[in-house]
Amino acid sequence: MAAKKHPAVSVIMPVLNEEAHLADAVDSILRQEYSGNLELILALGPSKDNTDRIAQQLAAQDSRIVLMPNPKGLTTVGLNAAIAKAKHDFVVRIDAHSEPAPGYLENGIRILQQQNADLVGGIMAAKGKTAFQQAVAWAYTSRFGIGGASYHVGGQAGEAESAYLGIFRKSALERVGGYDETIIRGEDWDLAQRIKATSGLVWFSPELSVTYWPRAKAQTLAKQFFSTGVWRGDLTRRNTATASKRYFLPPLLVAVIAAGLVQLLLGNNLGILPLAGYLSAVAALATTASGLSVAGRLALLRVLPIMHLAWGFGFWLGFVRGAAKTVDRSRMSKDQLK
């Protein structure tokens, strides 16, 4: 008796300046052992590196790859265009700097159907090649890094607040109108909230894992976390009731340190204590961080303050004045930053 064929899926991937990772990301999809029909839609933003040439070469080698333009270069715009173009009832989002583990498509579709869910996600398995990138990856997977979301630190399968990337029913995406194109960061959380608001189920499964390659330089990490913080502040202002308490920890840290520094400037030497206490805690974490080399632990001394303080400062700006058109500039070329 022939094995049952898997449902057809459309994999969508927004792409901008990803020459270093695109080929591996595409390969991680095409080598999935998946018996159903598969199309991979690349929404190509205005890259300034060799991304487009690489995409064209990949498409010439495999007819399952579909190229489409995303002239604005915004992630949400590219995702919505790819969703509209998708031919199949199941849609899988993958980013161009990520690589799903073997079996991701098969297991993800199975879990989606078993749970009668509209959105399923798994673990964001951050990894690094350099000492700095490895320190960033450690912070992503630590509760002392960027919090305790299940897709960062793992946990039991069950209903979730949001999902990393995600495997969707296309009908659910159409029901809520896709991604909000006015949101530049945090679009996944917003989409999950709108799906849940229509009685849709968002599910986390530790069976699913996607390798994520984080920013490899301090400057780009700071830009990323600042813009993420700004948008998280804006989204929290819009939806305070559904915001997790952990979102308020970095801005609270920034406020306490800032208040202490003001006291220090006014002549109160005790004002240094919040900053000194925080840096001491960072040093203690770096000293005891498991799985990192000496160079990685030293890098963690920079990584944690960058993540916490850039995110926290950005959160206050977004919460007070809104995100406006704040964009993540961490993957843009020098020309695009002008």
pLDDT tens figures, 193-203: 999 999 999 99
pLDDT digits (tens, 9 = 90+) for 160-169: 988 999 999 9
The secondary structure of residue 2, as a DSSP letter, is P
Helices (H), 86-186: 104-114, 131-140, 150-153, 170-176
**In which band, very low, low, confident or very high, does the pLDDT at 318 lie, cut at 50, 70 and 90?**
very high
CB 221 within 8 A of CB 146: no
pLDDT for 338 equals: 36
By the 8 A CB rule, do 141 and 126 touch?
Answer: yes
pLDDT at position 150, please? 65
Closest CA to 47 of 77, 17, 78: 17
Structure tokens belonging to residue 137: 């990856």
Band (1; pLDDT cuts 50, 70, 90): very low
CB 234 within 8 A of CB 322: yes
Contact 34, 4 (CB under 8 A): no
Q: Which residues contact 182 (CB under 8 A, 6 or more apart)?
A: none
Nearest to 221 by CA among 145, 108, 321, 118: 145
Whole-angstrom distance, CA of residue 216 vs CA of residue 134: 9
Structure tokens at 258: 């800032």
**Average pLDDT in the 154-179 region?**
92
Q: For 139-149, what is each residue's pLDDT tens digit?
A: 998 888 876 66
Closest CA to 233 of 173, 297, 318: 318
| 201: its two tokens | 């189920």
Residue matched to tokens 């080399």: 293
| Dihedral-angle region of residue 240 (phi above 0 means left; psi in -120 to 50 means alpha; beta otherwise) | alpha
Global pTM reads 0.85
β pairing state of 119-126 and 167-169: antiparallel
Res 337: pLDDT: 38
Tokens of 276: 């000194």
Q: What is the pLDDT of residues 73-94, one digit of tens each?
A: 999 999 999 999 999 999 999 9
**18 contacts 51 by C-beta, under 8 angstroms:** yes
- Please tell me the least confidently modeled range out of 45-54, 105-114, 249-258, 323-332: 323-332
Question: CB-hemisphere CA count at 13 Å for 39?
Answer: 17
Q: Which amino acid is at 57?
A: Q
The reported pLDDT for the residue numbered 331 is 52
Among residues 72, 71, 79, the alpha carbon closest in space to that of 95 is found at: 79
Our CA dihedral for 193, 104, 122, 182, rounded to 10 degrees, sits at: -30
Q: In the prediction, which pLDDT does 155 show?
A: 78
> What's the token pair of residue 94?
């993958």
Write down the pLDDT at residue 333: 46
Q: What is the dihedral of CA 97, 103, 105, 111, to 10 degrees?
A: -120
Maximum C-alpha span of the chain = 82
